Structures are given as structure tokens and as C-alpha cells.
Amino acid sequence: MSDFPYADRFHVHRSLPATGRNRAEVLAELDTMAREEDATWETGKISGTMYCGDHDHYAFLSEAFAKFAHVNALQRDLCPSQTKFEGEIIAMVLDLMHADAVTATTPAGLVTSGGTFSILHAILAYREYAAATRGISAAAGRLPNLVKPETAHPAFDKACHLFGIENRTVPVDPTSTLVDPATVAEAIDDNTIAIIGSAGNYPYGTIDPIAELGALALARGVGMHVDGCLGGFILPFGEELGYGIPAFDFRVPGVTSISADTHKYGYAFKGSSVVVFSDKAIRNAQYFHQLGWSGGKYMSPGMDGSRSGGMLASTWASMVTLGREGYRGYADAIFATARELMAAVRSHPDLRIMGEPTFCFSFTSDAFDIYHIADFMKPRGWRFNGQQYPNAIHLAVTRPQTKSGVVEAFSADLAEAVEYARAQQAAGRMTQSGAIYGGVVGGLSSEVESVMTMIMDGMLDTQQALPPRA
């Protein structure tokens, strides 16, 4: 990847232009970049990333977004539409998560800017709620802790880091890839604010034993968050279609919050997620109030302040136009495609599927380094996600993979890749790929943290620095 993409074709802005550029010229540049970048995922060979892949749907969402893009969702007196959109988005997710099963408390939710923020809000809420109701706080000499499976998303680790919570990460079974509730139970103590389960987890697409974890949370008097960021908008429809999806929502006693990303299988634009709670009191615990500011009384339900109303409008538009029937139809195609892709993997004795996945899956090999497969298939347009411990290849099946010919191309390329991997392993050759969330990249040195920092610097600094003048 170039440090200065498109610098060979388009003007590089080293400073703010003295006079504004022609709009048609700018739109032409944007059109070129958009068309070229779309071509990389339209093949159906890209794991995850583009969950919808439907340009007609994107055009519709863009039209909905444009009508409210300039609106500040913070100012509800001027923009009552945002109250309608946000309230109905939350209501629809609560309905999808069977909040009607909750009878003793009042369920509620928040719309956030992504899965990480949904998780951050949930953990912040648990911290504040535990401080208010159980006296658990660092100030009181009781450091709050969170118990999570190793497979749970790193956003939980980030939440612990940001909010001063002890992170108690427990291992998962290497065969099933699931967490053992007994292992979680051993990690819980009087300062535990919540435990975590995934439906499904990102690395393997498997669903933790939510019912057992919920029962444990009830017995120990702690919160229970289900991370449905990935599966929240597809697993319910897989259940309706008879794919054997276990209950993971508010029907499970002990589940007190769930995150679900509308910008994944909800087919909204990126930057949209929802977190719902079984009890409004837990959500309200993380509200922020500053009543003595000279600028007026400040109140915020979440970490964001100003937000574009376009995101709420387009997310709402996606949900109400697809409806249950639309989501169910797309889920059926995705589950069927995932099964065909996994069957192609299982047809090779040298390859092994990790656990019992659902709509996304990972596979590894005991015969050779699985990254040889990624090395071979990358030049053919396949972009997988790399896993580690053990090395594995991850494929999140989305609508672009359901296109005609994708499964056949995967099967053919995989068969050749297996032969290549065997030959490379026999020759003692190293792989070129490695594991970083969101892709398979060049191999990393032993000083992983330094290398990761260099990669982040490359994205944030190098590409934004001034390229050398010709």
C-alpha cells in the first residue's frame, strides 16, 4: 500500500487551497477513487468489510442520509425527527432481542457510532451502576473487574483500559473455541461488575454458552453482556429459518445487555450500532451531567456530543425498508453460502474448521502453516482475515459472497492453494502473511508491539505527512 495513494494521478494538498476547487473536478476524482475501490470487493472475495454490497441500497441510504446530513442530532427542539429515528431504532432492536421477555424492569437502549462504542457504553454503565448499587469503586478501595473469554472482542480490553477496570481474561476450549462457564465462575469475586459472552465471537463465529453464563450471572449477582455486534442482525433470522441458533437474547435469564451492529448485518452505513439493556437503570447510570457550567446545564446520554442526523435517518431507513422478511431472506442466502464454503474446506483432510461455526468461520491446518493458503490466494483477489494462537484464516460471509460463482471460485482456488501449501511446507519456506485484525498482512517480527505502533504511525502520520516534492 502506498504511503501517498493517488499522488501519481491527483493533486496532493499540502495546505488548504487559496481558492476553492471546482466541484465537478472534485466529484470526478471522488468517483474515480470510489469505482476503483469498489471493484476490489465486488468480486465477493473479501471477508466481511462490505456486509451489504448492494449499490441500489447504498444509493437509497445516501439519499436518506443527505436529507439530514446537516442536522445535529443533539438539538432535538429543532430536529424532532431525530427523536423519532433514534427511538424507533432502539425499539426495533429491543423487539428483535425479545425485550418483551423482561417483566421486572424497563428495557432501554442507546444508538452509538459502532460496535466498540456500544461495548464501551455497556461496560461504563456496569462500572457506574456497580459503584452506585454495590459500592464497587477504586475510590472505595474496591477495584471493579470484568470477566471475559479470550475470544471476546478487544473493545472489552479497551473499555477496561479506559475506565480503570481490572480485566480478567479467561481461556477458551481449544477444540470447541467456547468458554467454559466453570472457568468464568472461578474468576468472579465480590468486585466483578459483569461477565461477557459472544454471539458469535469474531475469531471463530461460534456462540458461547449464553444460557449457562446467564444462569451464572444471576447466581452471582453480576451483569451479563452478550456481544452480538457481529451476529445481532443475522442470528435471530437464522433461528427463524431453523439453523439451530440457541437463544442468546433477553429470553435468557441473567442477560442484562446486548450490543448489535446495525452497520454490519443491519445493512446501515458504517458508524451505527445499538446497545440495549434489560433495565433502564443500568443504562442511565452512565449518563453524564454537568450542571454548573457557564454555558448552561450540560447533559449527555452517551460519550458523543454532536452527531449527524443523517446517520440516524439512514439507519432507520435501512431497517424499516428491509423489514423482517428482507433480513430473513438475506440471512438464508448467507447461511447457505457459509455452509457451502465450509464444505469446500472440509473436503480437504489437511484443513480443519475451528469449532462449530455459524455464518462466519475460521480454518487451520495441522499439516502446514495455514498462511501459505493466504499467500497463494491473495494474488487471485482473496482477502481473508488472519487469526493467531493457532494460526488460522477467517472468512466472514456477507452478501457479496452469495453472488453466483463465488463458491465455485473459492473451491477451485482452495484446492490449488492446498497443493501449494504442502509444497511450501515440504521445502521449509516461510509464509509472507501474518495476523492483524481486519486482514492478513506481512509477517511480523518478534517485537510485535513496536511493529504494531509503526503500522499505526504509518496510517496516522506517514500518509498524512507531506510527500516529497518532485
What's the distance, CA 123 to chain centroid?
16
Residue 408, CA distances (Å) to 47, 115, 293, 343, 411 in order: 16, 33, 63, 12, 5
Q: What is the pLDDT of residue 469?
A: 59
Q: What is the pLDDT of residue 433?
A: 62
Q: Is 391 left (phi over 0), alpha (psi -120 to 50) or beta?
A: beta
Encoded amino acid at 188, one letter = I
Contact by Cβ (8 Å): 53, 398: yes
What's the distance, CA 12 to chain centroid?
33
Q: What is the pLDDT of residue 442?
A: 46
Contact by Cβ (8 Å): 259, 115: yes
Q: pLDDT per residue over 122-178, tens digit each? A: 999 999 999 999 999 999 999 999 999 999 999 999 999 999 999 999 999 999 999
Q: Per-residue DSSP letters for 353-404?
A: E-SS-SSEEEEE-SSS-THHHHHHHGGGT-B-EEETTTTEEEEE--GGGGST
Q: What is the pLDDT of residue 451?
A: 65
Distance from the first to the final alpha carbon of the chain: 20
Flag residues of the chain having pLDDT under 70: 1-3, 433-449, 451-470
What grid cell was written down for 20? 476553492
Q: What is the pLDDT of residue 14?
A: 76
- Whole-prediction pTM: 0.92
- Tell me the C-alpha distance between 226 and 207, whole Å: 10
- Tell me the C-alpha distance between 62 and 206, whole Å: 33
- The dihedral built from the CA positions of residue 296, 300, 306 and 312, taken in this order, carries a sign that is negative
Residue 359, CA distances (Å) to 48, 237, 352, 402 in order: 11, 11, 16, 12
What residue has cell string 468517483? Answer: 31
What residue has cell string 450540560? Answer: 298
What are the chain's domains? 80-317 (3.40.640.10)
- Tell me the C-alpha distance between 136 and 426, whole Å: 56
Contact by Cβ (8 Å): 414, 373: yes
